Structure 1
Amino acid sequence: METKILILKMIAKHDGKWTWYQIERGLNAKGLGGVVNSTEVLQALIDEGFITTKSDPRYPSPLYSITELGRAILLKEAEE
């Protein structure tokens, strides 16, 4: 769950502006590049309802946005 929270935080900070590429670069900056399979984690976050994707003709990949459920998880995490 720790990796999911980290990715959720990145998505929340750049809500609707990042593709998998920026997320991968963010993980790399935190020393997790190549350690974490971002595609699997992002799909799990989508499946769990924490994030959504949207298409934008300016980008070749979908953009990620956090959902209300995702925000609630981050809020709960911050309170612990």
Structure 2
Amino acid sequence: MDRYSWIGIFAPAGTPPATLRKLTADFQAALNDPETHRKLTQAGFEVMASDGPALDRYAREQYERWKGFVAKTGLKLEE
């Protein structure tokens, strides 16, 4: 079974496009900073800076990939 965790940063629906562009640029710059990149990779992360639409597609793909498994096993989130 191939599985792993991932982290994404999302903005609320209705966030102005200019704000989204600025946040995307700032996060990509941070992730591409050599020192930040080094620290994240040393901590075991695979750094992948993408944009909002790419992250949205990935999140939807992961949801579709795992929803059948969750339904079959009866897994529940704990709060």
Compare CA radii of gyration and give the structure with the larger one: 2
Q: TM-score, normalised by structure 2?
A: 0.29
Higher RCO (CA 8 Å, separation ≥ 6 residues): 1
Going by fraction, where is strand more abundant, 1 or 2?
A: 1
Going by fraction, where is helix more abundant, 1 or 2?
A: 2
Q: TM-score, normalised by structure 1?
A: 0.29
